[in-house]
Amino acid sequence: MTPAADTERLPYTPDQVAEALGRSWRTTLLTAHRWMVLGRTLDSRMQALQRQGRVGFYGAATGQEAVNVAAGLATTPDDWIFPGLREQLVALVRGHDLVAYAHHLFGDARDPAVGRNMPCHPSAREVHYVSMSSVIGTQVSHAAGLAYGLRLRRDRGVAVAFFGDGATSSNDFHAGMNLAGVFGLPVLFCCTNNQWAISIPVDRQTAAPTLASKAREYGLDGRRVDGTDLVAVYRALAESLARIRAGGPAEMIEFVLYRMTPHSSSDDPGRYQPGDWAARARAHDPLDRLERWLRENGMMDDAASARVRADADDTVRAAIRTAESTPAPAPSTLTEGVFRDSAPAPLAGDP
């Protein structure tokens, strides 16, 4: 399954890009490029640190940057993000501090979770970014549940759930999609189909023609978008969010892209992927695709590209230095927030 004729693709002329992104399209593209470079830089550096034993685990989002950055730019502060393993860049684009995220990756004393959660599983209350679970698909039903609360409160927010192709075979996918369809909830389901559920290719886990087609069985609209095309992704997200925010039903978007790294630092894809997979994935690199377009249209040159990369490298290294120089959590924190110091006060009328 690859980006093909049945995948939405935006023609890359400046006029069409302007129509898709609005009047500030140039600023949006350059901002997106900077964030995508920062995400790629962060992935590269953290993967190296994990191999050196300086962090315990890492799940890279390399190849998924167009979806993550577009989601960060297209959502509003009222929206809630329910991530899978690879959406940390969404939180950063929405305003989560990179240094705070670095503290989480190292699980140090300034980590908000005080080292209790795995790296790449952060939560960021200030940007409505809910901690993921390593259990496959649970965020789908969590997002539907929060969307039900948003509807009850008449809140303008939309719950945005991200999940991989493998999660579409989970029980929680059915539960979340069905609940959203039955109650007409304000939730956008985003399937990042990188074509591998860890080691299982997508064509071995479903007989459906597309993953997006599954949405129709729950009474929802589902469509496929080329997840390597920043502009097409942004347009699809903005359109769906606008419809849902205006009172429309839940929707699902399947973003077709390529996993360019192992599933995580615990994985060896050489044991199951075809030998030419890495080359095929690099040929659809969303960052290369965007930068090539910027260069062809006079918005980027060698000097500008080098500055963006140098700034990203400096920013990532500074965050890592701060986190790595922070001490580990004190042993006493193991029991903090676990037990109540006293029993709760009885409710009125209790014996």
Q: Which positions are annotated as active-site residues? A: 259, 263, 272
User: Under a CB-based contact definition with an 8 Å cutoff, are residues 57 and 99 in contact?
Assistant: no
Amino acid at 288: D
Pairs from 322-327 (Cβ < 8 Å, separation ≥ 24): 322/99, 322/102, 322/103, 323/99, 323/102, 323/103, 323/105, 323/106, 323/108, 323/110, 324/54, 324/106, 326/103, 326/106, 326/108, 326/109, 326/110, 327/108, 327/109
Give the full edge-to-edge strand order of the sheet including 159-164.
Answer: 80-82, 159-164, 187-193, 251-256, 221-226
**If DSSP states are collapsed to H, E and C, what string results for 221-233?**
EEEEEECCCHHHH
Q: What separation, in Å, do the N-terminal and C-terminal C-alpha atoms of the chain show?
A: 63
Question: What are the b/e assignments for 103-119, b being 16+ CB within 10 Å?
Answer: bbbbbbebbeebbebbb
| Of residues 150, 217, 205, 156, the one with CA closest to residue 181 | 217
Show the tokens assigned to 326.
């922070």
CA 4/CA 258 separation, integer angstroms:
13
CA 32/CA 17 separation, integer angstroms:
14
Show the tokens assigned to 53.
């034993």
Residue 237 contacts by C-beta under 8 Å, 6 or more apart in sequence? 70, 71, 74, 75, 188, 190, 253
